[in-house]
Amino acid sequence: MADLTPFLDKLKSHLSIDAVVGEKVRLESKGNRMWGLCPFHAENTPSFTVSVDRGSYKCFGCGEFGDIISFVRETEGLEFFEAVRVLADQAGLDMPQQFSQQDSQKSALKVQAREALQIARRYYAELLAGPEGAGARKYLEDRKVPQESWAHFGLGWAPRNRQDLLGLLRQNDIDVEAAELAGLALRVEGTNEIKARFWERLMFPISDSGGRTLGFSGRYLPNSFAEGKKMGKYINSPEGPLFPKRRLLFGVDKLQTGLRNQPEAPIVICEGNLDVMQLHNIGQITSLAALGTAFTDDHSRILARYDRPVVLLFDPDTAGAKAAFSAGRILVAEGVDVRIGRLPDGCDPADMVANGDKSLLNQVISDSWDILKWRLDTWSNKSDLSQAAVKDKAAREMAEWITTTPSPVIAETWEREAASFLAISQDTLRRLYDPHKEAQSAMPATHTQHNNSLNNTEILQQNEREIIGTLLIDPSVYSFLRQELDVLKLSDPSTDSLLQWIRLQRDQGISYNLTSALAQFDNDEQHKWLDSLRHQTLTDPRLALERALSALPANTESHQVSNGKPMTFEDLARLSRKISVTPNDTPEQP
């Protein structure tokens, strides 16, 4: 693909960044900059600034930055080239022919898929209000979910006939492939038959933070066929480029408004969609739920951006305690203030609201426990801490929690509290871990400046991305270090796939650059990182690549040790291959 940089420069010359950003953010001039409330995180005092001269924006609160393309991409939930196309239309410019030929078919399919999701959302909502939705309406009424909440969250009903929705999509010129990409249709295994994925289920639209529908979560009704056949209580749209399930949270499209309206409220994480709806109905409008999946690192990174305490409000049973433990560890590692709301036995938030226990539920959230105190209390309730072996197990768990937090202040506080609770000295507890060793292992070996709060896995990922980023910013440097790069294997599958693609392009004699990588790799995580490379400059790409490669063995070893997989001698020898390129060397011919 030809270099699109000249076209992007032309696009920016036609569209002023203050005009593009001003469509979504109210900007006020102060000095040589413009300021407004950040659209990427909740705030009451403007920390989001736009520099017209530079054609860029930056938020000093959450760190988001970029140009007009980045802004449209992030606020509209689009991929890079989709954002370029939107802006080109605004500017009255024709897309370059090379891009149109390569990307138009794939892009058109995604546009259709997104349209299909909107059609399905309206269709399901109409069915919920009609005769076929009577059973679902009764279920919601029995659970005491008010009708205004149905509309607020866009609830709907998927019909029994699994061809009805597909027929409607065909009437709207939506291809079958687009319906499959949207997660609305599936093929019966071993046949060419196409059916709707969702049928006879209460439908919950799942949206991104900008309110765009990405997919659905469907719940069966009590005494339904699906329940009788022991199918999943909830089924979700399949993981895919339009529905990155491990990063989605039900209710996140309402979160920005909730945080602005309740500047002191914590973010509440519960287990079910109805729990979220009912919490909103009693004023807890910063409530969210994961989509029937374990809480992930991606969820944690999203929540860390908001700089609010997070209250885990999971069911008071063994499964709920395990889920809270797991989610809590992930959030603590991200530096989030994590608390536990202890629900009465046998209760969940939705039932408590239905039973009129609004005040008690609000009190549970306001009285939520620091997560370490919750773990200590759990140990005292389930075990006899006077027994040395039990106390040893509890102390080892506390040591794990202490070493998990990136905050030395929290670590010291927890150490003091845990030692006092377990009736042991802080020195004894400290012997179970080595905080100085932990601090050293978290320091990157690479010459590039890293955030010291990153864990070993994140440091390695950043190191590997430095290698790939340098190769995309200046493809010519590959030849200087071809011997090392030709045998290199990266640990992160997403980054390694980029390396394999670069090798394939070289093997086939096809030129590559950052633009062609953006066209080839279209999942959200890769796209956002690749897009960020457009704003980076390297004064000496070859030196940057040498340093990143030199740092890789130590960072790989730290990652493997921290994950219980020590490096073999062969691993270390392979990664430690000496880089012997000198300034007078000439690159190998590809």
How far CA 494 is from CA of 77, 165, 291, 521, 529, in Å, comes to 20, 35, 23, 10, 11
Q: Which of 95, 121, 156 is where one domain is finished?
A: 95
CA quadruple 336, 342, 348, 354: dihedral, nearest 10: -110
Q: For residue 295, what is the domain's CATH number?
A: 3.40.1360.10
In the three-class reduction of DSSP (H, G, I as helix; E, B as strand; rest coil), residue 312 is classed as: strand
pLDDT recorded at residue 288 = 96
Residues 238 and 125 in one domain: yes
Q: Which of 346, 367, 388 is where one domain is finished?
A: 367
Residues 382 and 304 in one domain: no
How far CA 499 is from CA of 63, 212, 495, 559, in Å, comes to 28, 32, 7, 20
Is 257 domain-assigned? yes
Residues 222 and 109 in one domain: yes
3-state class percentages of the chain: helix first, strand second, coil last, to nearest 5 = 55, 10, 35
pLDDT recorded at residue 211 = 86
Is 584 domain-assigned? no
Q: Which contacts (CB < 8 Å, 24+ apart) does range 443-446 have?
A: 444/551, 444/555, 445/551, 445/554, 445/555, 445/558, 446/547, 446/548, 446/550, 446/551, 446/555
Q: For residue 64, what is the domain's CATH number?
A: 3.90.580.10
Q: For residue 188, what is the domain's CATH number?
A: 3.90.980.10
pLDDT recorded at residue 440 = 36
What is the Cα–Cα distance from 514 to 492, expressed in whole angstroms?
19
Is 590 domain-assigned? no
pLDDT recorded at residue 515 = 78
Is 41 domain-assigned? yes
Domain that holds residue 427: 376-433
Of 76, 8, 69, 14, give the one whose Cα is nearest residue 40.
76
What is the Cα–Cα distance from 545 to 550, expressed in whole angstroms?
8
Residues 148 and 207 in one domain: yes
For residue 46, give every residue at least 6 positions away whose Cβ sits within 8 Å of its Cβ, in sequence order, or none. 28, 35, 36, 37, 38
pLDDT-flagged residues of the chain (< 50): 1, 435-452, 567, 569, 572-584, 586-590
Residues 220 and 90 in one domain: no
Residues 341 and 470 in one domain: no
Residues 136 and 239 in one domain: yes
Is 581 domain-assigned? no
Is 135 domain-assigned? yes
Q: Which of 38, 64, 95 is where one domain is finished?
A: 95
pTM equals 0.67
What is the Cα–Cα distance from 99 to 564, expressed in whole angstroms?
45
Pairing of strands 338-340, 310-313: parallel
User: Tokens 């990136």 sit at which residue?
Assistant: 406
| Residue 571 tokens, joined | 């691993």
Of 590, 575, 580, give the one whose Cα is nearest residue 467.
575
Residues 393 and 349 in one domain: no
Residues 237 and 150 in one domain: yes
In the three-class reduction of DSSP (H, G, I as helix; E, B as strand; rest coil), residue 196 is classed as: strand
Q: What are phi and psi of 158, to 5 degrees?
A: -90, 130
Other CB atoms closer than 10 Å to residue 578's CB: what's the count?
6
Q: With beta carbons less than 8 A apart as the criterion, state whether 126 and 205 touch.
A: no
Q: Give tens-digit pLDDT for 155-208.
A: 999 999 999 999 999 999 999 999 999 999 998 877 789 999 999 999 999 998
Of 237, 89, 117, 252, give the one whose Cα is nearest residue 174.
117
Q: How many CA atoms lie within 13 A of 186 on its CB side?
A: 10
Is 182 domain-assigned? yes
Is 442 domain-assigned? no
Residues 260 and 361 in one domain: yes
Residues 407 and 511 in one domain: no
In the three-class reduction of DSSP (H, G, I as helix; E, B as strand; rest coil), residue 352 is classed as: helix
Q: With beta carbons less than 8 A apart as the criterion, state whether 47 and 103 touch.
A: no
**Strand (E) or helix (H) holding 299:** helix 297-304
Residues 460 and 361 in one domain: no
**How many domains are contained in the chain?**
5
What is the Cα–Cα distance from 505 to 493, expressed in whole angstroms?
18
